[in-house]
Amino acid sequence: MDRFENSFLHANRTKRASANRVKKYGLAVPIVIIIGLMVIITVQAQSRVPFRFSLVPASDGIAACLRNAAATVTLLPKEDLRGVDTLDLKAEGLPPNTAFTVFLTELATAPFGAAEYIGEFTTNAAGRGSVRMDAIIEEAFSIVGGVAGRKELNHVVLWFADPANDDECFRPGTVPNTPFDGDGQAGTAVLSSRNFLPNAPLQ
């Protein structure tokens, strides 16, 4: 038997096997495949699309001092699929070579309420900086004193990481230090989502 005949017989056997499976299982296999595809499409459709919002100077004093300070936040909601969201922050118009901390907060202005420290970045010589973080962002919350103390963290705020760095905008000693850094010592708030008040970008 030559190679051609072998190929022909193999093809016939494959066709017969496929026909037998269809006879045995009917439409069960195609239906299972279709349902699987529908589940995948549904999960993908349920995932939220990325959205973007801006941050503005957190106070009138900062706005007067850092006239071009601004930041853009892009949120990629992926918690349902990957267990975390991705927050991408790009800032500009800030003092050069300066460290800033990033927090999710309950309120956009002082006293800021409940807060979560999620990241830090340092600007380059041109006063630009960026940071990308994977965490629960869109549905972030804090609990203080039990479930009744749940606070939604729907705002984003940036602080000078070093208390001395806000001396560029305010006379030394006139602005109190804040706790918004890993060592518990930070400067004043620089950028925030107060432009969304009375709403919030992460609601």
Query: Any idea which residue has 């439409």 for tokens?
Result: 27
pLDDT band, very low/low/confident/very high, at 23 (cuts 50, 70, 90): low
Digit-coded pLDDT (tens) for 102-114: 999 999 999 999 9
Q: Distance between CA atoms of 66 and 191, rounded to whole angstroms?
A: 10
**Rounded CA gap, 73 and 108, in Å?**
15
**Contact, 157 vs 58, CB < 8 A?**
yes
pLDDT tens for residues 135-171? 999 999 999 887 788 999 999 999 999 999 999 999 9
Rounded average pLDDT over 124-141: 96
Query: Which class for 156: exposed (0-12), middle (13-18), buried (19 or more C-beta within 10 A)?
Result: buried
Compute the distance between CA of residue 136 and CA of residue 75 in angstroms, rounded to an integer: 11
pTM of the model: 0.75
Per DSSP, the residues of 159-175 read EESSGGGGGGTS-TTSS
